[in-house]
Amino acid sequence: MTENLPKARPDLLTPGPAAYARGAEALAAGDLVSFPTETVYGLGGDAGNDKAVAAIFAAKGRPSFNPLIVHVLGEEQAESFAAFDDRARRLAELFWPGPLTLVLPRKPNAPLSLLVSAGLDTVAVRAPVHPVARALLQASGRPIAAPSANVSGHVSPTAPIHVAEEFPDGGGGRLKLILAGGKCPIGVESTVLDLTGEQPVLLRPGSVTREELEAVLGPVALAGADAGVKAPGMLSSHYAPNLPVRLDATSVGADEALLAFGPDQFTRGGHERLNLSPTGDLHEAAANLFAMLRALDKPCCKAIAVMPIPEQGLGVAINDRLRRAAAPR
C-alpha cells in the first residue's frame, strides 16, 4: 500500500544556475518550490496551472477563500493578466521591484488559474527584489503564485530551516525543493494595497508605509473589519505560534517566555528571553520577529509575553502581525 509510505523530504539547494534550472523544471511539472524573497520565504507554484495552485492550498491547509499573491519580474509581465491604471503604474515605477503588493482588476481570460484569485475578479501581484526570487522567475519564464511557505496560520518562515521544519514530508510530497538563500532581510510580509476602487485601501501594512503611499497617491484608507478576505494576511488569526501571545506586557511571569523590544527592564520572570532589538531599531525588530516567535514557541512556557512596540513606521506592520498572532483561534 503506497499511501502509507513516507513522503520524500524536499531537496535543500544552494542558489545558482543548476538550482534555478531544477526549480524551473519542478514548476513546469506542476510541483512546488520554496524560495526566499526580501520579506519571507514563499511556497511557489506555476500561477497558470490549476494542479500546481491546488497543491499550494493542499500543502498549506489554506482556506480556499484566501487568495494568493502572484510574483512577476515586473509590470510588463503583470499586465498580461492584471489591469493597471495610472496609480498602479506610478507605484510600480517607484516601488517595484520591492515589498509592495497591488490588488488590481483581473483581466478577462487572464492566463492564471482561477484558484489564485479565490473566486474574486481581482488579482494580487508583486515584483520581488530578492535576487534568488528574480532568478527563479527568469529561469521559469512564468508568473509564480506564492504565499508564505508555512502551514496556514503558523508563523511565517524567514530562513530555509523554517520551511524544512514546516514541511518535513514536503507538504505531502508536493514541495520538491527549497532554494536556501539565507535569512530574509525585511522579515515581514509585503504591504498590500487595493487599487480596485476609487480610493486606495491599505489591506495589509508592511515595510512600504502608508505615509510613503500617501505621498504618491493622496489619502489611503485602512481596510475595515467588514472588508472580507481580499488579499493574503487578512484573516483575524494568523502568523500564530502554538503558545498564546500576550501583547503590551509590562511584566513577565516565571512560566512565560519574553519577547522584548528595547532595553529589557524586567528583572524577574521570563523562562526564555529574546530581544527583537535591544536598541529599539524597528527594521532589526521586523527582521527578527518571526524567527524569534518560533524560537520562543516551546512547551516549557505557558505563553509569550511581548513588550510594547511603537505604532509608527515599520512598527505598524509588526504590531499588525502580533495582533493577529494573539487573536482568538
Q: How far apart are CA 157 and CA 285, in angstroms?
A: 15
Q: How far apart are CA 310 and CA 313, in angstroms?
A: 8
Map grid coordinates 513522503 to a residue.
Answer: 7
Q: Is 190 annotated as a binding residue?
A: yes
Kindly report the number of other CB atoms within 10 A of residue 310's CB atom: 15
Q: Is 204 annotated as a binding residue?
A: yes
Q: Is 126 annotated as a binding residue?
A: yes
Q: Which strands sit side by side in the sheet containing 221-222, from one edge to the other?
A: 11-13, 175-179, 32-36, 41-46, 144-145, 69-71, 122-126, 100-105, 191-194, 201-204, 221-222
Q: How far apart are CA 87 and CA 89, in angstroms?
A: 5
- The closest of 123, 306, 148 to 235, measured between CA atoms, is 148
Strand partners, 105: 122
Q: Is 39 annotated as a binding residue?
A: yes
Q: Is 156 annotated as a binding residue?
A: yes
Q: Is 37 annotated as a binding residue?
A: no
Strand partners, 32: 175
Q: Is 34 annotated as a binding residue?
A: no
Q: Is 117 annotated as a binding residue?
A: no
Backbone angles phi, psi at 256, to 5 degrees: -105, 155
Q: Is 66 annotated as a binding residue?
A: yes
Per the annotation, where are the binding residues for L-threonine?
Answer: 39, 71, 122, 126, 146, 190
Per the annotation, where are the binding residues for ATP?
Answer: 62, 66, 148, 156, 204, 239
Per the annotation, where are the binding residues?
Answer: 39, 62, 66, 71, 122, 126, 146, 148, 156, 190, 204, 239
